[in-house]
Structure 1
Amino acid sequence: MFDSVFSADQLVRIPGGSVPVRITHGPSREYFTGIGFPLIRDWLYLSPVDEPSGEFPDLGTVRPELDEFIDIPGGAKEWLLVGHLGPDLLLLDGATGRVHAIVNGSDEITPVHESLQELGFFLYVMQRERALFYGPYEDTDESEDVRGAIDLVRAELAAAGPDAFTGPGASWPRLLREFKDEWVEYAPAGSGPQAGTSYPGEHNWWAPRTCPEPARRCDRGHK
């Protein structure tokens, strides 16, 4: 699936000898070597490493002050950072394979994915449907159609990983809602104060690298 939506230079896969030894969960080790991590600048997801030999920092390094504020789960300081989802941290429990999130600036650790494979499926779907999130198309009113399509993406992801859509401030529903709300505000026939203007691209972590087809949609100066 990854190979169908990412090019070879948009993925970083980790040789077996470079997989952190603290990852004892077999399927997680296989994910590091066989599936890997998307490596795209200004995308929704940010990989913690940019080369196969890169080191994955742990929670104790990324947030050393955390245990001063909350009673963190046992062994959590050893969990590895496996990416940023927008402004949120994604952490892997190397013993169980579960992925947890720390929402931007908070002190709460929340389970978000049963496995790296589940996270990978979410990233695959978001890349597959990336054109939905580029913003309103020039001289058209497709706001309702695209917002409905975003709802379908949400339903697909929720069916694949329901835990990702539970809990206060959960990352995935919040991020998808932000995309959908921007369509309300900036769509050509929208009702918001910016209706009729070009999409502002305020999420610098989702700037498209190339314009979608057809060419009439290339209205934001991307080459």
Structure 2
Amino acid sequence: MTGAMMQEKNQRQLEVNEFHNLAGFLSDPPVDQKELFGSLIWIICNSCINTFWNTAKINRQGAGSIEATIQKTKIIVTKAVVREVLRLGDQSHHPTSYDQTRVLAALQRMSYEGGYPTMLKKLFPPYWRLLVHFFLQCIAENKVGFDQLNKTQTSAIVALVNGWDFNFSAFIFDNMKKMLEYPKKKIFMLYPRFI
């Protein structure tokens, strides 16, 4: 078997989750051209996202990157690129987790009624539950289980609420890398709105 054939055979196919993978648009196309442009935008966006994830590989040299090819163009994503594109206001030296004591104290101030490290959205008062819900839908890497947060996600939420420094760019980039590090698991299109 040639190298190209092996690569094609081993290439993962995306598990498309329509609910999670919708691409956002700034506005609707003109009414008289809505049918043409609406489907065209949908096809181009999804095609590029599918191609990105199906060709993506982790390059562990240097600071690490994700490299993919879309329409014969090499795309390189790093933590710095995520930081530059998303403008989240974080810095490379900011942490991506906090110690348990500090997180627990912050959760108590937020009137959280559950235990830690496993945190459940439903155990927050409604106003914090809404924030957690949007966080899980927009930033977290969860495929399913939109009620439970892991330690890093919990640190991100309490940092957001308390105005603590948090490296959201590293959080997002690391979640993208996790998609590629487990070849036996199906991957899905994470973060389609800015890839």
Please give the TM-score of this superposition, normalised by the length of structure 2.
0.23
More helix by share: 2
Please give the TM-score of this superposition, normalised by the length of structure 1.
0.21
Q: Which has the bigger relative contact order, CA under 8 A and spacing at least 6?
A: 2
